[in-house]
Amino acid sequence: MKNFAKLLAVLLAAVVLVACGGGGSSAVATNTEPQGYYPQGYWSGLDNSTGYTVNTAILDNAEVWGIYTANSKIYGALYGTSSVNGNAITVTGTSFDFLSNKSSQGTTTGPVTAKSTMTLSGVVFKYQNSYDAAATLSAIAGTWSINGRSGSYALTPAVITINTAGNFTLAQSTCTTSGSVVPRAGGKNIYSITLTATGTTCATGQSALSGILYIDTTVTPYQFLSLALTPNKNDGLIVIGTKM
């Protein structure tokens, strides 16, 4: 990455691995969320200097999760925390560059209007109304074709079936991954995902991962994007899924 501030600017734009539908409203900060957390949502944008599209979720606990892509390829991710002072948002976190398999840390600040736009390092990010739909187990249940990557490995394309409780297992020749996907308590279109990988050549080693998943229900078939990180957050696994 050129520098962390620029990456954060790209991050706070949201398109995660899927094309988000809908624009944002023009509502200004009539803050109905906990103080300092009102920019929660799903944000989309494009960094013209790199060509990366960035998908970012800011959660109701102030966590920031982001993925940047170009031409359907995954180039990196970001995890951090956010805080708000008036109409300015500050994001501090770690970026993961999948081209070099390196990470960097930093902080960036810019103006934000609740459920509308954020501007960081010259990049304008728009709020996606799809965030406000409720996550449900019925939406995530079913069979999905998936692809993705970790910091070091591109995943072998595969098919997973998620049952009505949100559980799944993917058995491959050298790695078995089991996990669960459940709606977060906040009532938004964000799921919590946990994974456990065991085997000789798993993408992130034999480790437990946790993160978030977003479903784009505005497209047919549905698509999801998920990002899960290892406990020390030095590696992660991004997966794009298309419902079959």
Ordered by where they begin, the domains of the chain are 4-131 (2.40.128), 137-243 (2.40.128.20)
CA–CA distance, 68 with 76 (Å, rounded to integer): 5
CB 156 within 8 A of CB 203: no
Higher pLDDT, 69 or 38: 69
- pLDDT confidence of 1, banded at 50, 70, 90? very low
CB 119 within 8 A of CB 125: yes
Q: Are strands 63-70 and 73-85 parallel, antiparallel or unpaired?
A: antiparallel
pLDDT at 44 > cutoff 60: yes
| pLDDT at residue 37 in the model | 55
- Nearest 5°: CA angle at 202, between 200 and 206? 75
Q: What is the per-residue pLDDT across 96-139, written as a single tens digit (0 to 9) for each?
A: 887 777 788 888 899 998 889 988 777 788 998 889 999 999 99
- pLDDT confidence of 52, banded at 50, 70, 90? confident
| pLDDT at residue 38 in the model | 64
pLDDT at 21 > cutoff 80: no
| pLDDT at residue 146 in the model | 92
Task: Share the mean pLDDT of the chain.
Answer: 80
Q: In one letter, which amino acid is 163? A: N
Q: What is the per-residue pLDDT across 189-235, written as a single tens digit (0 to 9) for each?
A: 999 999 998 888 887 777 789 999 999 888 899 989 899 998 888 77
Q: What is the pTM of this model?
A: 0.79
pLDDT at 46 > cutoff 50: yes
